Structure 1
Amino acid sequence: MVDVVFMFELHQPYRLRKDLLKHMLLNGIKRGLTFSEMFDLIFDNEVNKEVFVRVAERCYVKATKILLESVKSVRKSGKDFKFSMSLSGVLIEQALKWDKRVVDVINEAVLENVAELVEQTYYHSLASLFSIDEFIEQLELHKSLIKEVFGVEPRVAENTEFIYNNDIACTLNRLGYDVVLTEGVERVLGWRSPNYVYSARGCNARILMRNYRLSDDIGFRFSDRSWDQYPLTADKYASWLSKTPGDVILIAIDYETFGEHHHPSTGILEFLKWLPIEIARHDNINVVSPYEAACRNKPRDVIDVSFWETISWADERDLSAWLGNDFQKKLFEYYASLEPYVKAIGGEALKIWRTLGSSDHLYYMATKTGPAGDVHNYFSPYKDVVVAYTTYLEALAMFATMILEKISSEPSKYAKKIVLPGKKAFQFYQAPGKPLPYRARCITELAALVQIVPEESLVYHILRGDLARWFRENFFLENVARELEDLGAFVKQGVVEISKLREFVLKILSKI
């Protein structure tokens, strides 16, 4: 017997407004916007609504109704058919605003014990690649939304676009997810098959790996008339599954495959209708949820994927779909650098930043050729990569300017809320080339460390101006920076005794 798992990915980004600056000029929009007004300005919600309503009608509602009817038919024969869905938080937001039928029909599938909902990042983001804190926060946001809307808590998780490494798996496992889904990448598997349950390196998570060949037969090749297996029928596909060796076969595809990526005229919805029925004819196949499959089958081996070998289900099964060229890398770094500041402000500013972080925006900038390039071009709303880059840069730069102006205009209001990433933490040294085990990511941590670091370390940094520079560049606290610089000058002149230095530094910090 083989367990077959179907996982459908549902996501729609908030697309950006093209020609943003031109739009502002033509409409007389000036600076001084609120963050709520900025959200409506940089995201083109006329287009977003149009796309969502179209896909909801063609796919989300229709395909789910077809599946529910087919499953009812299968259950009458004594067999069963289950599937899983991974819905991004932004997709659920759009469904609640623009077509609630999507939520209703999926909720029906959940209540009928047909669909299992899978955890993912709320904003379908690349947070796991730059901030473990943000990654966890988005998972928790998503979990809360799923609980609120559908009344369930996911037990299975996937990262955006099946992005995976050991650290991601173990983070998910620490959060309570015992099953993680990812891609069956050959360079990771080696001689092994994706059609088994594996264990994650370093934790107890069970890993299901996507069979990308069988998945792509539906997702990409279904309507390809040049394919040597065209046309693909439900009975043919069911026979392939029955003859595939292994314990678990994970078929994971974009749900938009059914009616949007493949037009209904291709027969894709008829294929979906008959698939559960044809699979039920094979006694050696159980179609189950991911959680059931992971629990029913023992792990056969350990999957080891280091951070530097991070995998995904896109393109070459790596990160190049989003970080494959300098355009993407620079804007990703620019975007990530704003995290401490938007989190200090919070509210609508944080929502805009997270929405700008959806992986799609970088995906549109890929400079791929061949089949991978064709896929990027199909999904992109832009005519070329330069337009994609310019559109994102304009939106991000406008937002970043507003953020930094707000922080720098009232630095004392936000400074203590800013928590820097590790690479910008203040590192204490005893002397050049002699780091101490003391690092501060925020002002509160720094104040605590000032009380315990060796006196010579404090002298070293005050005289060099390191502390002053850290406060000026990261917190925009010019007055604090100047006081620390003056203090350094007084120490050099002998006006302030070294034994009193710690006391003076703490006094300056207490005024923040």
Structure 2
Amino acid sequence: MKHICLYFQVHQPFRLRQISFFNITNKVPYFNDASNKQILLKVAKNCYLPTNKLFLELLKQYPFLKLSFSISGTAIDQFKKYAPQVIESFQALLETGSVELLSETNCHSLACVKGKAFFVNEVTAHRHKMKEVFAYEPKVFRNTELIYSNKVGSWVKSLGYEAMLTEGADKVLNGRSPNQLYHHSTDNNLKILLKNYRLSDDIAFRFSNRKWPHWPLTAEKFADWIHQLPDSEEIINLFMDYETFGEHQWKSTGIFEFLEDLPGSILKYKDHTFITPSEAVAKLKSRDSFSALTPISWADEERDLSAWLGNNMQLEAFDFLYALSKKVNRTNNDEMSRIWDYLQTSDHFYYMSTKTLDDGAVHAHFSPYNSPHQAFTNYMHVLMNFEYQLDKLLRR
């Protein structure tokens, strides 16, 4: 039996305003509310609302269809502020009983890099938000950008999760298949689900590429690829950004027709079914241990942390941000804590990447800045202003 696990990441960052060096001592708003609202409403119209509507119809049509999502805290906060109907549409999906929600870091942060205390705070905040908004307690964890290491896995298990998602990185698998259930290198009780990045990226990145040898990709062709996998490969994890549908792959590419046809195309094979991460843990047996001594992720060719912490600008900004944590805590100010949380979002560091070739093009596509240096300069101006405001509060 082949089990197909569909998982989607839902995330939007709070993008920053342009802050001049000459405004470092003035009290100014940090976040570009106009831009954030405009982008959120555009993505809601192109992706979240129509895709959720389509999935709601498909879940009624196909009782065996299962879906899983993780929704960052920053995305939820923007939905509350700009488009509450998106939350309602996710709640409707959850009510079908065929959808699983996963935990992640609240602000889509890189907190795991700075230590367990920072990481636990982020995970705990997201747990509270899931209870508040969805009355839901996730059993499975998905770290920011699928970042995983043995150490992070141990922290996740200590927080009570039964499984974790990460990248099926070739450099860790060493020739093994990502299409089976694994467990933590030293703890059999934490199961690991690995992304099949080739099949996932066929949809997320290559779908509309007319130079791709397999264009156009149909649901029937895709289902046949899965069917041709060896019988021993019992779980195929298709993990991707939810914004793939209607935003990264525009409606005009045929992505919604593909999605509409996908469940039927897969389920026409008697030995194919859909599964959620929790169901995979309950039904499937782990075949082997999975060990990552250094962090891996789903980003770029390296599948490591270099997309966010690969140059001196990123490292300087990252260290400055977390050096402010003690001052933030001492102020005991909810607004300053909220700002500091939003400044942790990984996107801010992604915009500073100086990678070239295909990886660099992807980074530039998602960045609101003209260059990585401009992203760094603006972020540092924000941090300097933020520190100045913290010091003012602490002097009172």
Determine whether 1:261 maps to 2:248.
yes
Determine whether 1:310 maps to 2:286.
no
Larger Rg: 1
1:351-375 CA deviation, whole Å, 9 max, x = no partner? 1111001000000010111111111
Determine whether 1:68 maps to 2:56.
yes
Match of 1:179 among 163, 166, 170: 163
Is the contact made by 2:19 and 2:382 (CA closer than 8 Å) also made in structure 1? no
Secondary structure of 2:379's aligned partner? helix
Report the AA paired with residue 312 of structure 2: D
With normalisation by structure 2, the TM-score equals: 0.96
1:213-249 CA deviation, whole Å, 9 max, x = no partner? 0010011000111000001111111111222231211
Determine whether 1:14 maps to 2:14.
yes
With normalisation by structure 1, the TM-score equals: 0.75
Match of 1:132 among 116, 119, 135: 116
Is the contact made by 2:59 and 2:96 (CA closer than 8 Å) also made in structure 1? no
Report what 2:226 is aligned to: 241
Determine whether 1:282 maps to 2:260.
no
Shift of 1:391: 1.2
Aligned-residue identity in percent: 40
1:51-74 CA deviation, whole Å, 9 max, x = no partner? 000001110110011112122222
- Map 1:324-363 → 2, pairs under 5 A: 324-346=310-332, 347-363=334-350
Q: How many residues align?
A: 391
Cα RMSD (Å): 1.4
Distance 2:228 2:392 in 1: 62
Report what 1:43 is aligned to: 31
Higher relative contact order (CA 8 A, sep 6+): 2
Report what 1:494 is aligned to: none
Secondary structure of 1:42's aligned partner? coil
Secondary structure of 2:365's aligned partner? helix
Distance 1:298 1:322 in 2: 35
Report what 1:429 is aligned to: none
Distance 2:353 2:227 in 1: 37
Distance 2:321 2:21 in 1: 19
Distance 1:344 1:278 in 2: 57
Shift of 1:279: 1.3
**Cα 1:91–1:20, aligned 2, differ >3 Å: closer, same or farther?**
farther
Is the contact made by 1:71 and 1:276 (CA closer than 8 Å) also made in structure 2? no
Is the contact made by 1:121 and 1:142 (CA closer than 8 Å) also made in structure 2? yes
Distance 2:379 2:258 in 1: 38
Report what 1:220 is aligned to: 205
Distance 1:364 1:20 in 2: 18
Secondary structure of 1:116's aligned partner? strand
Match of 1:401 among 356, 380, 388: 388
Is the contact made by 2:308 and 2:346 (CA closer than 8 Å) also made in structure 1? yes
Shift of 1:20: 4.2
Match of 1:159 among 132, 143, 153: 143
Report the AA paired with residue 59 of structure 2: V
Distance 1:232 1:67 in 2: 20
Determine whether 1:387 maps to 2:387.
no
Is the contact made by 1:8 and 1:252 (CA closer than 8 Å) also made in structure 2? yes
Distance 1:210 1:197 in 2: 11
Shift of 1:349: 1.0
Distance 2:385 2:186 in 1: 42
Shift of 1:101: 1.4
Shift of 1:19: 4.2
Secondary structure of 2:68's aligned partner? strand
Report the AA paired with residue 358 of structure 2: P
Distance 1:257 1:114 in 2: 21
Is the contact made by 2:163 and 2:190 (CA closer than 8 Å) also made in structure 1? yes
Determine whether 1:52 maps to 2:40.
yes
Distance 1:377 1:271 in 2: 28
Higher helix residue share: 1
Report the AA paired with residue 6 of structure 1: L
Secondary structure of 1:228's aligned partner? coil
Shift of 1:114: 2.3
